Amino acid sequence: MADYDYDLFVIGAGSGGVRASRVAAAHGAKVAIAEEYRVGGTCVIRGCVPKKLLVYGAHFAEDLKDARRFGWNVPDCDFDWAVLRDNVLAEVDRLNGAYTHTLDNHGVEIVHERATVSGPHEVTLASGKTITAGKILIAVGARPAVPNCPGSEHGITSNEVFHLDALPKRVLIAGAGYIANEFAGIFNEFGSKVTLINRSDVILRGYDEQIRDRLLQISMTKGIDFRFHAEFRGIEKQADGSLKVSMTNHEPLEVDLVLFATGRVPNTEGLGLAEAGVELDAKGAIVVGADNRSSVDSIYAVGDVTNRVQLTPVAIREGQAFADTVFGNKPTIVDYSCIPAAVFSHPPIAGVGLTEGQAKQKYGSVRVYTSDFRAMKNVLANRNERALYKMVCEADSGKVLGLHMIGPDAPEILQAAAIAVKAGLTKADFDQTVALHPSMAEELVLMK
């Protein structure tokens, strides 16, 4: 057997890379991991974790108003963006330290510089040093896409949004996926005037149509503007520092901030992958099999860089499966069916399994059950905002094919319900479960 510096060398210390590294090390492998920025990756450093903290902060805008209906003498409150921003960034620092500590505790060597692939068993560091490894795992994730239009350098992405010096008064968000809708809700609650533009007239493609339509209605009621069939023509910086955005089918718009949320691109450029024989698809993602192996036997990939399912828990599962299969003598394949997903919009949405449209396409005949209601808290708060729960079932067996919801705490409620969908339970199983009253979650077992 060849003598290598390491049994495993991982490039990228995000969620997938960290999990793969520490599990492989626990199986007895000698492991090193290279990270050119900060340990933790997109989710921890510039993604779901700091974003969710901003979502929590934004919810207080409505909670403080609603508190008055519940007897609390709440004065008019000012919001200090810098306080929230700095507290969030401090939490990111803490998590960065925690992830680093975890790797250290598992005996994984951390290399704090960029690494590129220079052969089937070799990586080259930015310092020029070469390192050999029995297996190489690519877990470098993805980055926000930036539209190719004049003046695009004046916009920012979700990477930079956590570091803004001040809150913009007027924000234009390009895109209509989960990142766009989440930040639309955040900025709107913080008092910014938000306009969301999209090339098509569909938001949150892939989510159930009724649920996303409800979010669109509620978002517009909250004051968020939507411009559909709008593509960038360009961004011009004005003398006063504002940005003039030109687009198709609509009049130009002057704003103070442009946020691009138009998808994510695998971080494969300049990694030496093609030169090493690793197959990439048309979008630059690494093509892998069910065992996470690339076209080169010794090189594997997990997470967003493979562009399969761009979700942190999926990357973690892939990293675990890779380590268990290659170093733990426990062959494991990730099951991509019934993956729950959420959008932390205002209000949030969550879903698992097939949408109504997908179910009809696959099964032909389906039965759909819904509950359309106002949460008790919203009733007393005089907030005319309705939740919608939806269950899609196979017509004959009653098996639950999909469960979708929008309303307060929808993601928290769906996580437990997703277990039932994954397990193949039926509408009758839900019906036979006694409701937990009074709660929003009880509507899961009361749908008609």
Q: How confident is the model at residue 31 (pLDDT cuts 50, 70, 90)?
A: very high
First-to-final CA distance of the chain: 64
Q: What is the DSSP string of 67-87?
A: HGGGT--PPP----HHHHHHH
Q: How confident is the model at residue 373 (pLDDT cuts 50, 70, 90)?
A: very high
What pLDDT is stored for residue 113 in this prediction?
95
Catalytic one of 27, 154, 404, 437: 437
The residue extents of the domains of the chain are: 6-141+267-328, 145-262, 347-444
Predicted structure pTM score: 0.95
Per CATH, 6-141+267-328 and 145-262 having the same topology is answered: yes
pLDDT digits (tens, 9 = 90+) for 281-298: 999 999 999 999 999 999
Second-level CATH architecture of 6-141+267-328: 3-Layer(bba) Sandwich (3.50)
Q: How confident is the model at residue 446 (pLDDT cuts 50, 70, 90)?
A: very high
Which residue positions form the known binding site? 52, 175-182, 263, 304
- Average pLDDT over all residues of the chain: 96
pLDDT above 80 (res 2): no
Protein fold of 347-444:
Enolase-like; domain 1 (3.30.390)
Distance CA 100, CA 189 (A): 34
163 membership: H or E segment, kind and range: none
Q: Looking at residues 97-125, what average pLDDT do you find?
A: 95
Which residue positions form the known binding site for FAD? 52, 304
Contacts of 15 (CB under 8 A, 6+ apart): 41, 42, 43, 44, 303, 312, 315, 316, 319
Distance CA 148, CA 343 (A): 27
Distance CA 159, CA 448 (A): 43
The angle formed by the CA atoms of residues 429, 435 and 439, to the nearest 5 degrees, is 130
pLDDT above 80 (res 29): yes
437 noted as active-site residue = yes
- Tell me which of 3.90.180.10, 3.40.50.300, 3.50.50.60, 3.40.228.10 is the CATH number of domain 145-262: 3.50.50.60
- Other Cβ atoms within 10 Å of 68 Cβ, number: 12
pLDDT above 70 (res 240): yes
What pLDDT is stored for residue 257 in this prediction?
98
Which residue positions form the known binding site for NAD(+)? 175-182, 263
What pLDDT is stored for residue 1 in this prediction?
46
pLDDT above 80 (res 98): yes
Q: How confident is the model at residue 220 (pLDDT cuts 50, 70, 90)?
A: very high
Q: How confident is the model at residue 30 (pLDDT cuts 50, 70, 90)?
A: very high
Q: Looking at residues 254-278, what average pLDDT do you find?
A: 96
Q: How confident is the model at residue 241 (pLDDT cuts 50, 70, 90)?
A: very high
pLDDT > 90 in the chain, percent: 97
Nearest to 285 by CA among 273, 296, 277: 273
